[in-house]
Amino acid sequence: MANVGDILEGKDICICAGSGGVGKTTTSAAIAVGMAARGLKVCVLTIDPAKRLADSLGLRELGNEARRVDPALFERHGIEMKGELWAMMLDAKATFDELVARQAPDEEARDRVLGNRIYQQISSALAGSQEYMAMEKLFELHTEGRFDLLVLDTPPTRNALDFLDAPRRLMQFIEGRSLRVFMRPTGLAAKVAGRGASVALSVFKRIVGFDLLADLAEFFNAFSGMVDGFQARAKRVNGLLADERTCFLVVCGPQGEPVDEAVYFHRKLVEAKLPFGGVIVNKVHYPAERLRGDGDDLVTKLAESLGDAELAGRVAENFADYQALAERDAKNIERLAAELRTRGVIRVPYLDEDVHDLAGLAEINRYLFASSEEREAIAAGRA
Partner 1 sequence: MRGYSHAPPLFLPRPEIARNQPLTDFLDKRVVFVTGKGGVGKTTVAVALGLRAAAEGKRTIVCEVAAQENASRIFDHAEVGFHEVEMAENLWSISIDPDESMREYVLLQLKVRAMRDMLFRSRIFNYLAAATPGLKELVTIGKIWELAQLDRKVRSGRKYDLVIVDAPATGHGIGFLQTPRTFAAIARVGPIHSQAQQLDRLITDQEHTGVAIVALPEEMPVNESAALEHDLRTEVGVAVDRVYMNGLYPERFSSEEAERLAGVAGGENGSLRAAARAALSEHHRARSQRAQLARLRRRVEAPVRTLPFLFEPELGAEAARRLAGRLG
What residues numbered 241-270 form the site for partner 1, per CB under 8 A? 253, 255-258
Locate all alpha helices (DSSP H) within the chain, ordered by sequence.
4-7, 24-37, 52-56, 71-75, 92-103, 107-115, 117-124, 129-144, 161-175, 177-182, 188-192, 195-208, 210-223, 227-242, 256-271, 295-306, 309-340, 358-369, 372-382
The residue among 48 and 91 lying less far from partner 1, judged by its C-beta, is: 48
Q: Is 189 a residue that touches partner 1 (CB under 8 A)? A: no
Least distance (Å) between residue 169 CB and partner 1: 8
Least distance (Å) between residue 131 CB and partner 1: 12
Locate all alpha helices (DSSP H) within 104-194, ordered by sequence.
107-115, 117-124, 129-144, 161-175, 177-182, 188-192
Least distance (Å) between residue 165 CB and partner 1: 13
Q: Pick out residues in 133-162 that bind partner 1 (CB under 8 A).
A: 155-156, 158-159
With CB under 8 A as the contact rule, which of the stretches 47-55, 67-75, 97-105, 235-243 interacts with partner 1? Answer: 47-55
The residue among 76 and 356 lying less far from partner 1, judged by its C-beta, is: 356
With CB under 8 A as the contact rule, which of the stretches 16-24, 93-101, 137-145, 233-241 interacts with partner 1? Answer: 16-24
Least distance (Å) between residue 16 CB and partner 1: 14
- Tell me the HSE value of 267 on the side-chain side, using a 13 A CA sphere: 9
Least distance (Å) between residue 134 CB and partner 1: 13
Contact 180, 174 (CB under 8 A): no
The residue among 167 and 176 lying less far from partner 1, judged by its C-beta, is: 176
The residue among 127 and 338 lying less far from partner 1, judged by its C-beta, is: 127
Q: Is 20 a residue that touches partner 1 (CB under 8 A)? A: yes
Least distance (Å) between residue 96 CB and partner 1: 13
Neighbours of 70 (CB within 10 A): 13
Q: Is 216 a residue that touches partner 1 (CB under 8 A)? A: yes
CA distance 271 to 250: 15
Give exposure, 103-112, as e/b (b: 16+ Cβ within 10 Å): bbeeeebbeb
Q: Is 227 a residue that touches partner 1 (CB under 8 A)? A: no
Binding mask 109-128 for partner 1 (x = CB under 8 A): --------xx--xx--xxx-
Q: Is 21 a residue that touches partner 1 (CB under 8 A)? A: yes
Binding mask 300-329 for partner 1 (x = CB under 8 A): -xx--xx-x--x--xxx-xx-xx-xx-xx-
CA distance 5 to 107: 46
CA distance 227 to 321: 58
What does the longest C-alpha to C-alpha distance in the chain come to?
92
